Amino acid sequence: MNVCSELLAVGYSDTKIRIWNVKTKTLVATLSHHKAQVQALEWHPVETNLLISGGYDKCVAITDLRALEKAPSAYPVDSNVETVRWDPLRPTLFWVSTESGALTCHDARKPGEKLFTLKSVPTHFTASL
């Protein structure tokens, strides 16, 4: 949950992300950029307007809630996303684990690119940073 603004992001199997205001119990926004089930979500720990999401469409997206009219930044990956995490020490980086066993590191300032991939991990894992 985005504690600063009292927003809760929920990913659904219908490909949507719904942003709820838990204080007013109202739907704030519905995001439709994923093409398959949304599997993972995380608010940025410092820039609380940024939401990272990953799905079974082999894509990670970063959405800026201040600019919902703009398309989110997209980062394709090799298979279905299992987990997304912002790097706790480097706020512009994030990590993605996938169903194929890959762990990739990306820079949020460089959409579509990845910094590196670790493939020597077992399949179907969940990463925790």
Distance CA 77, CA 57 (A): 9
User: pTM for the complete prediction?
Assistant: 0.87
Q: Give the residues of the chain that fall short of pLDDT 50.
A: none
Which residue type, as a one-letter code, is found at position 57?
D
β-strands 59-64, 73-76: how paired?
antiparallel
7-118 placed in CATH 2.130.10.10: yes
Q: What pLDDT score was predicted for residue 120?
A: 63
Q: What pLDDT score was predicted for residue 4?
A: 60
Q: What pLDDT score was predicted for residue 103?
A: 92
Residue with tokens 């994030």: 94
Q: What pLDDT score was predicted for residue 14?
A: 96
Which residue type, as a one-letter code, is found at position 80?
N
The structure tokens listed for 94 are 């994030």
The structure tokens listed for 13 are 């199997």
Q: pLDDT for 9-30, tens place per residue?
A: 999 999 999 999 999 999 999 9
Q: What pLDDT score was predicted for residue 112?
A: 87
Q: Where are the domains of the chain?
A: 7-118
